[in-house]
Structure 1
Amino acid sequence: GSSAIISDDDWYDYVKLIARFLVCSGYKGMLVLIDELVNLYKIPNAITRQYNYEKILTMYNDTLQGKAQYLGMIMGGTPTSIEDRRRGVFSYEALRSRLAQGRFAREDLKDMLAPIIRLQPLTYEELLVLIEKLMQIHAGYFGWTPTLTENDLVDFLKIEFGRVGADTHLTPREVIRDFIELLDILCQNPDANVAELLQSVGGDALAPAAATGDTGAADGDRNFAEFTI
């Protein structure tokens, strides 16, 4: 048989073919996850962006018309990359009219069967549960007994949320990174004091006067204590 080279024009057809092949192999189907949809939004060439959005429209229509059987597509993107009318997905009118939220959905009443599901940031309580689970996984993997109490976990989150700009820029990735680092240190240093570690990065310990012993720092400088280069 002849060999085929998959190109920009026919890759989606081959994805559908792979899904069909997997079903013939005994699977229920194939789920394709496409993250960072914002990369389409960043494409400087308008024609290239429209080509990509046209391909998304094809996927959407295939789903409704039964032409993409056994194939699931989940795409992830920022609100701007979706809703921006100049460069985002909604700049393609055929997609905007199909994907835009209707008139009845509210913040407390969402249609989870809609083509777009708007995700909310993790709450303080949800992050607390997350780091608690991470602590258990870390302890099980490295074989140690964490000494952190629930109050310590709460204090850790208070420090994370106390960052400058945390209300808009704090992500679970940053929280997880800092927490894993804390667990690593405690695991490697069994005698380390949890409260002292937390205190060293929170509160007055960040102020220049406390860090340098300079008691002559002006009060106005304390507003910039966390901006350390």
Structure 2
Amino acid sequence: MNPRERRAARHQPPAPGAPAGPTPRRRRAPITVDQVIDTALTVIAAEGYDALTMRRLAGALDTGPASLYAHVVNKADLDELLIGRLCAGLVLPEPDTAVWRDQIRDVCAQVRDQYLRYPGISRAALAMGPTDLEIVRVSEGMLGILLAGGVAPRAAAWAIDALLLYVAAYCLEVSIVRQRSASEDAAWVFDRDELLRRFAALPVEVFPHTTSHAAELTAGEGHDRFDFTLGVMIGGLTAR
């Protein structure tokens, strides 16, 4: 099979009794799709998502870029494989009408934690039309939770898109902040005390609200703002 046919095959449930995958041609050290994914994640964990190119990945695998295209169609296909691998690590609960909001919040937190393990990888999830079975599994699980909560099907479908988009954007921003704050020259930009001092120095007559509520504007530790935003989004979903 050519790479496109292999990609299509990955997105179909395995038939009963079917072999796990195509038998590699004779080669001393055959490269597998799992090895490509593992190596790509290792590169991202060490250097960030922006460092991952097909050439960089080929170098890490000690092969040429052409060898990669025997397993992945292109960078977009690799992105989907990476997000699919992260989704495979998510634990999806049995939908419960009594605690569905907590359940959907927990799934989003799991996605967040997976993304943050690999700096910038959430960029790969943006503008993706996923067909990877693990990604669809997560979408299916989230849909089941929202439907169990009485959310209308279209609202549930669009809410999943909005929630995952927010999680991806949040993680991307966190990754950028961490990268920038590693520089001594930029550390002050992310210092809360520095922000408070700058807000306090603003002319009150021009910025009355900012000077009065500087503490609130700079408040929040850890994932406090993430939890708040999820609460606002999920709380806005109404039963049909």
TM-score, normalised relative to structure 2: 0.27
Higher helix proportion, which one?
A: 2
When you count strand as a share of all residues, which structure comes out higher?
A: 1
Q: Could you state the TM-score of these two structures normalised by the residue count of structure 1?
A: 0.28
Which is higher, the Rg of structure 1 or of structure 2?
Answer: 1
